[in-house]
Structure 1
Amino acid sequence: MPHLQSPLTRKLSAFVALSGTDLDLLARFHQRRRTFLSGHALIHEGQTNSAAFILAEGWACSYKMLPDGGRQIVDFQLPGDFLGLRSILFRTSDHGVEAITRIEASEVLASDILDAFARAPRLATAVLWAASRDEAMVVEHLVNLGRRSADERMGHFLLELGARLKLVGVGDQTGFDCPLTQYHLADALGLSAVHVNRVLRQLREEGLLTFQKGRVTFDDFARLRERVGFDTSYLDQEGPLLR
């Protein structure tokens, strides 16, 4: 069945060996599947009574808007990720979510999640792991913005995206297809678009990575990891801990 190989199933299975009951409940999460075009805002900052979504295909981003119209991208969402999970638990959404590409996502209500948690504690544990992993990535992004140089920031972030995509069967150690523009990277990494271009050129000239024509290629994966201090332990995706 399609849900057995869905990105969400693959992702949660990295932590918990899911039972038949768990898989049946996960299948219910995909009943209200919808398609959104690039640029569509699925969730608005300040919105009340929001739904959450599970991303099945495509890329999205979560962001905060500043009073002067500037935007800080908090993270990019990939297949298997929840979109706006906090939005169904908080009274008011604290961030916006926008489709970067054409996406397919399943709408999930608070009642769906709470019912699944009541029926399947192991599944609840897996979703808690996914939320905790997202928090660990935000911590790493704070270190990126506050302490890493621009080239370290870029290399670390692209390696993280590659590791996340590999988990759901989309990318591998050689690289991944990437729809992000230099403006997306600028808004996520606290750089100007001009600086992004300069940093990417520097990394390419050093033979570490190339980002051209919508694809990130790791030209020297091991040396890039060492150069930017990338350690995958915070992603916690080396295999199920609970069986």
Structure 2
Amino acid sequence: MNMGQLLSISKSGLTGYQNYLDVISNNIANVDTKGFKDKRVAFQELLNNGTYENEVGLSDNAQPLAMNTGVNIQQVNENEAQGALQEASGVYNVAIEGDGYFGVRDANNNLYLTRDGSFYRDSQGNLVNQNGYQVDVQSQLPASQWPTTGAVSISQQGYVSIGNTRVGRILMYRPENSIDMNAVGNNLYQCTGNLISSANTNNGFGIIHQGMLENSNVDMADSMSNLIITQRAYQLNARALQTTDEMMETINKFTE
């Protein structure tokens, strides 16, 4: 292993821990975001580099040795644990207890998934989220014809009634394979694989609670501990990089 490879190892550590700090910072920033899921980072070693007798002293009984060439973030995983449910005053505020997601659509009819059930009716009567995306509702009446008076009730299966009139059903979704879920920002996800809808089955989604919202599942104490540990690991990699650079400078002086 040459000195350049040592620099490369330290660089990979700095890059990996910087990305980890970004993930932790994002978790902390969203500690109060409704329905936010904590992100976890998994590291992996990069390819091993063989170590030979011309590089280090090895005993006759030494087994083949190798040193890894750094680290890399293998994947960022979602912590799917249920967030605590908290009472919310709006009649269209809802939370899922279980594995399902609400569906919302943008102006181009692209479907996104979210756990944030902070919904309300806009000026056209459509049920929308805080970004103005229309909530996926299996309608029995067009939104413009929903009654303007009467108590609003939403059942655990998502059926919406106003007074004595059932107007539709808030649909729930879940991916057939959880690895197909991709975060796209604004507390939204897109699924690249098959989606299962509650329009076809009631199994595996959980139940809906009206007048409740799901809190973030970020553990603030755990996140702050990880932040401190990761900052120190980053500093150690920076110190190793500096030391390697100083060693190279000293070697260059001997070769002049």
Question: Given the two structures, how large is their TM-score scaled by the length of structure 1?
Answer: 0.23
Higher relative contact order (CA 8 A, sep 6+): 2
**Structure with the greater alpha carbon radius of gyration:** 2
**Structure richer in helix, relative to its length:** 1
